[in-house]
Structure 1
Amino acid sequence: MADIIAKRAKTLAEFGEMMGKVFIPEEVGAGIASYQPRPSDIVISPYGKCGTTWLQQTFHTLRTGGDMDFDDISRVVPWIEQAAMHDIDLNADQRAEPRGFKSHLSYRDIPKGGKYVVSFREPKDAFVSMFRFMEGWFIEPGTVAMEDFFQGWMAGGPEGDGYWGHLLGWWEQRDNPDVLLLTYGHMIADPERHVRKLAEFSEIAADPDLIALTLERSSLGYMLEYKDRFDDAMARAQSEIRCNLPPGSDSAKVRKGGVGGHKAELPAAIADQIDAIWTERVTAVTGHADYAALESDIRARNSG
């Protein structure tokens, strides 16, 4: 029998089938159920494409003094939902204290008992970033329209709660001393403030030299230089086996970053839908007319 030709998805349905092979509910559930948080654990849990990898690297640099001896940042700051897939013991000691973990879970679903760091991002930028991230890895570029992908993004993805449920659930915890809320835009605008705030929240003693080193090693330029450490190498290897994807796909998670990039390519119809959903779901709960207002609120809270 001839070998099946490796290929990427060319339709949203094919993409959905692939996601089902990578995020098997029983496997994801086993990873979540296995995790036993310690009070000092730092769980980095933004929504997808909202600064997770950046925070993983910042945290790992702070706690280790600059360790780069890893092939995948999620090997040293493990992804809770994919732990069973990669046979990672979430309850083992790590290279340094405090232990650190990655997740995309909402507050409702995340195991309780640790400390949590969540960065929010403008939903239009987060959506476009996710679309471009999946192109070239799971999706054959140019075959799935952004409008079609948006419908899948709205459905919530493997974690199930969607951008809106994730944001609202974590916003409700804004006064919880074990939750640190940040914003992607403010992290870009004032990285030193956020390195210091993350160190303080994580109870890591950070002298000026460690702060300077962390700023260097969590910078866009540095992470682009070492982008093979931040390209989901473990997940990509599994995706190639489970989904028969072409080897060596572009799964780099460190790209150009930035704020407002959606303006150059997001169709107006999608932008309007996002604005309408924000008004219906977020403004009704938080009182913030748009993302900019919510971000301004969080900036003010973190300005002390």
Structure 2
Amino acid sequence: MSEPDVTRCQPSSRLPTSLQELQSLHAWRVPISAPADFKLEPTDILVATYPKCGTTWTQQIVHGLRTRGSMDFEEISLVVPWMESPPLPGLALAGPQVASPRAFKTHLYWERIPKGGRYIHVMRDPADTLTSFYHYVNGWMFEPDSVTVEEFCFGIFLKDARFGRYWEHLRSWWRVREREDVLLLSYEDMKEDLAGNIRRIGAFMGVSMDEDLVALVTRQSTFEFMHAHEHQFDDHPTTTAVNQMTALPLELQTTKVRAGRVGDSMELPATVHEALKETWRVDIEVPLGIPTYARMRQLLHASRQ
């Protein structure tokens, strides 16, 4: 695996205003990869998700469990770093962290991820994932609403962009869900039973838990709490680094704590829903025999019985 490309560009005074300009950005053209010399320890925890599938949420849970709820950090990515991130000032990927076990986030799928650690994958309804992804980049990587969600879907989300394709990730992690070193969760189940899934994560991490810890981490992992501490979850160190290498205005930032709802995709156009349905049929139903995301959730529940 190659080192991340950290080429710096002269910042621009304007944002892209079309899909073509958006597609030309460095952030969409360069595939992500882990550093070539990075070595995992057997106890390392990797929050391995597709973007906008509960990554920051799960980072907060993992960090809270290993520190008994410490909020003594500037931003979550500085204590649970992104493995494929551009280098951040003062942050070394290798070596000890503020607490044990070490924890990282990654957007790599199973076939490309460094092996030797323990992996938490959170799956999410693809339509909700698209909706959240669009709102995340709208106003950061292109002028507000200058690219429609339909254009973003057909031009970016359905393509083999920097993070790979959503269905590629889901298929990859689903196939290894029964491994001892993999914990597969669903975003929707976490919303329905946050405390129960925090217990499941803690057990997977090997953390000694008690009800006070579960209650504390549950409270600090709610949308309301994270929204109230939004600057600690807005990924501003990484956003600044991405702006530098992508020639976006340096002062631009975004947020990762937008709504956190299930079912936000109701706003998507019918053409997008149809495209997502057909893509599921081709990329998930045909190879895995699972006709819908809802059915996949049912199968995940059944596997825990």
Separation in 2, partners of 1:200, 1:268: 41
Q: How does 1:98-137 map to 2 (within 5 A)?
A: 98-137=101-140
- Offset of 1:247 from its aligned partner? 4.8
Equivalent in 160, 163, 172 of residue 159 of structure 1:
163
Give the partner amino acid of 1:73: I
- Confirm or deny: 8 A CA contact 1:186 1:299 kept in the other structure: no
What pairs up with 1:118-267 in 2 under 5 angstroms? 118-151=121-154, 152-160=156-164, 162-263=165-266, 265-267=267-269
Q: Give the 3-state SS of the residue equivalent to 1:159 in structure 2.
A: coil
Alpha-carbon shift at residue 24 of structure 1 (Å): 4.7
Q: Which runs of 5+ in 2 are unaligned?
A: 1-9
The residue that corresponds to 2:21 in the other structure is 14
Query: What corresponds to 1:75 in structure 2?
Result: 78
Which stretch of the first structure deviates more once superposed, 9-18 or 254-263?
9-18
Does the 8 Å CA contact 1:119/1:181 hold for their aligned counterparts?
A: yes
Q: Is the 8 A contact 2:83 2:105 kept in 1?
A: yes
Alignment of 1:8-87 (within 5 A): 8-18=15-25, 20=26, 24=30, 28-29=32-33, 31-84=34-87
- Measured after TM superposition, the shift of residue 16 of structure 1 is 2.4
1:294 corresponds in structure 2 to: 296
Over aligned residue pairs, what C-alpha RMSD do you find?
1.9
Displacement of 1:22 in angstroms is: 8.0
Match of 2:281 in 1: 279
Tell me, in whole angstroms, the C-alpha distance in 2 between the residues paired with 1:33 and 1:232: 24
Report the 3-state secondary structure (helix = DSSP H, G, I; strand = E; otherwise coil) of the residue aligned with 1:32. coil
Amino acid at match of 1:122: D
Letter in 2 for 1:12: L
Structure 2 Cα separation of the partners of residues 197 and 205 of structure 1: 12
Contact 1:107 1:170 in 2 (8 A): yes
Segments of 4+ in structure 1 off by > 4 A? 21-25
Alpha-carbon spacing, 1:137–1:182, altered in 2? closer, same or farther (3 Å)? same
Per-residue CA deviations over 1:101-152 (Å, capped at 9, x if unaligned) read 0001100100010000001000000001101110011111121122211121
CA distance 1:249–1:287, shift in 2 (3 Å): same
Residues 146 and 203 from structure 1, CA distance in 2 versus in 1: closer, same or farther, beyond 3 angstroms? same
Contact 2:123/2:184 (8 A) holds in 1: yes
Aligned residues: 295
Shift of 1:214: 0.1
Q: Separation in 1 of the partners of 2:265 and 2:28?
A: 28
Separation in 1, partners of 2:100, 2:169: 27
SS of residue in 2 equivalent to 1:34:
coil
Deviation, 1:159, is 2.5
| Percent identity over paired residues | 35
Instruction: Return 5+ residue gaps in structure 1 as ranges.
Output: none
Superposition TM-score, scaled by structure 1 size = 0.91
Q: Whole-Å Cα distance in 2 between the matches of residues 175 and 230 of structure 1?
A: 31
Question: Does the 8 Å CA contact 2:50/2:169 hold for their aligned counterparts?
Answer: yes
* CA deviation profile, 1:181-229 (whole Å, cap 9, x unmatched): 0000000000011000000000001111111110011111000000111
- Aligned to 1:256, the other structure's residue is in SS state coil
**Partner of residue 271, structure 2:** 269
The TM-score, its normalising length taken from structure 2, stands at: 0.91
Counterpart of 1:78, as a letter, is P
State the 1:248 CA deviation.
Answer: 4.2
Indicate if the aligned counterparts of 1:34 and 1:90 stay in contact, CA closer than 8 A.
no
Give the helix-richer structure, 1 or 2: 1
CA shift in 2, pair 1:286/1:280, >3 Å: same
Give the conservation status (yes or no) of the 8 Å contact 1:83–1:90: no
